[in-house]
Structure 1
Amino acid sequence: MNVLIVDDEQHVRDAIKLLVDWDSLGINTVLEAENGQAAIAIVEQYKPEIIMTDMMMPIKNGVDLLEWLQNYSPCSKKIVISGHDDFELVRNTIKFGGMDYLLKPIDPDQLNEALANAKDCWEKEELSRHERCKQNIQINQSKPVYWDKVLSNMVSEPNYYSSIQDDLRSEFGITEEMKQCQIVILSIDMMERVVMNKFANHRVLLFFSLTNICNEFLRKKNIGFAFRYWNSDHEIILLCWQGFDKLNALLTQINEGIYAALHGRFDFGVGTVQLFPKGIQQSYREAQTALKQRNMLKKTTWLHGYEAKDSPLPINLHLTDYSEKFRLAVWSSNADEIHAAVEEWIRAVKQIPVINIEQLDLWWHEYTVLRSKWLRSLSSDNSELELTSEKDRFFTVLMDDQGRFSIELWQKELEESLLALSNLITKQQHREKNVIYDVIQYIENRYQQEITLQDIANQFFLSREYISRKFKQVTGENLSDYLVRIRIEKAKLLLLNPNLKISQIAQMVGYADEKYFSKVFKKMVEQSPNQYRKQN
């Protein structure tokens, strides 16, 4: 779900992003615009489901934006966050479909509640839209989904066969005389780059295309049926009930059909022939094993039959052994350092004669653990620091033109992933520092006034705890100590003027009580104000 924040003040947009618990709301993308005109361009490109907007902005204000949204993005949910308690603005908010009108300074509970309500409302309406769409789908278009689920249940629990036996006979002609079965797995966890590029954002379409191609060959001779396995996010299962002696030749034809349609080929894991239905799980596990244990560095065949053999010895090379080199390179924000760290890791990988899916999964798991650890160490408030793009799983699209696992492509993707992580961390650090520098400027402009931590929190729409902690991290000094130091430095300058009384100077730097001012001054300077004046 996408959310767009529209406000001409950067610190307000930053504050909103910090105040919202995005993870609990299931919101993964937060977009920003500094006025209504910029917001329109973003809405046209990204179509955010929820839009939060200020009302008083340059170029195109909030009222004009709400009116445009009413006409061109009617399904989006609108929330107004304004510093003006104005009836006319509220009236326009209601007129153009706004769900809520929040006043600045923003109350975090009200903001999160408004977002939750907007999200729930959008999801209910979206569900209703989907239901209306489903009603227009003809029954023959929904049948493949039905069989995906039914046959997935049978693979997971063979005893389920007895409850669907009549349906299988009616649909596929599977009779009691068919006593054997064989499972083939087509896995999309490793695919050629040309296919990945084509279907990067259309995973469902890829499954649909592959199952249709497979079934063109399987159903023609009533050999079996291909379906998406619902207990896995990357497997298509070919359930075969006859023609076992010709299966390998048929799978080759299927792969050529896939190449003709999609310009890429896939690996097939082939289990052994087992009794039907009770042996279906055994054949499935064998097909899985055949895929997992294939050597990704060599491409001698697209068909991988199961062979009963001892598991290969584990490779004693862990990505975590290089974690400190990776961490220092990421925190350096230097592309050359990242390249050097990855290059050292790749040299070790190239010494390995066999790399299979199980090994890649282990390295991927180690990488995600390291990345999560680095992000957590940066700040407990960084709910935004999540990398969810397809590039994060840096070995999913790394096949060369011959269908072999490419270490060179993997190196490039790993470097890009680490560089993206480094840029994200740097951006977050800069953003937090910029907020604190704004706080410093605020203090230096108002040191002569009564300033509390709550006043600062209200001004910047942040919690007191967050400001206090971040101020200490950025400056190395407590906020209260910083304020005292600024006041005393200003007082030292004023004491050089002999025409000003001590009581006047105390008032001018924010102390109503002269005695308290003198006490604080002496503690900081180790001299009373009078002594300092005489000496200087």
Structure 2
Amino acid sequence: MKFNQTSLDKDIGDILPLLDSFSTLHQIWLKFVSCNGDYIVTPKKKSQSEYCHFIRSCPEGLKRCRASVTKCMYFEPDKHYILPCHAGLFILAIPLHSNSNCIGALATGEIRISGTFNQSNLKEKVQDLNLDTKKLLRLYEKIPVIKREKIMILGESIHTISNCLIKLGIKSETARMVDQTILADINEENPLLPRNISVEWSHQIVQQASRYIYINFKKSLSLEEVANYVHLSPTYFSYLFSQVRKQTFSNFLMETRLEKAKELLEKYPTISISEISRIIGYDDSNYFSRVFKKKIGVSPSSYRHVNSQLTPP
């Protein structure tokens, strides 16, 4: 995902509704911040809390706010973290990376978690900022208290939003790349692959989808389900998958199942063909046998006869 100024200006209309909807619905200020803690995109339909705004009115408070949010930049990407801030609140954040470089984070402010700081703790934290303590405490008490369980749910929601941002970055870049026919040359083994950040993210998304298929191929698995898992539309996911994998989703799923079938045929000579068919996700064993013979060149029973690991008497 590439958040340079050009792509950001172009996609700002798509990013803002996500931040606005989340911030308004959950009454939490969600923004996109740079690696040094600067605000890049902020919601327009909800304002930052008066408490945070007051803290940041002090130069030292602003400096500490930035330092608090930048802590998450050193964590693993694509995961959500809960971090204590310097002023008695908590930050829910997801760092966003390109290659090994952090490009920023989605982060919230104004989160009070039940059973954490009290007023005496808070006074200790902010007393050296030389701000009106009574006003600070009054503004702090106006921030709603949220249970930790809900925070974890909000973290999953922000994770979904981060994938939407990834999708936006991919869409804007791949549209340009298609015009230049670069996508036609995508190959994970190709040393000449251009080190384009959207290509890196597209590979990560397809790899994430591939892992999901490897884990769930035994059940009835649809393209729509996998697309939903990686938070892309079925149409766009199908296109992206075929460009990166050089094969369709259905063909990849079939090959995954057949590879597992070959393994079972080799290692377990006593398991029936119909049972192997069921294990790998095919309810119709006749259909499985036809597909197997068409793709492998021999029937499942013939393949077993030649490749079985069981030494004949």
Please indicate the TM-score interval, normalised by the length of the shorter structure: 0.3 to 0.5
TM-score by length of 1: 0.28
How does the TM-score come out when normalised to structure 2? 0.46
Q: Who wins on radius of gyration, i.e. which is larger?
A: 1
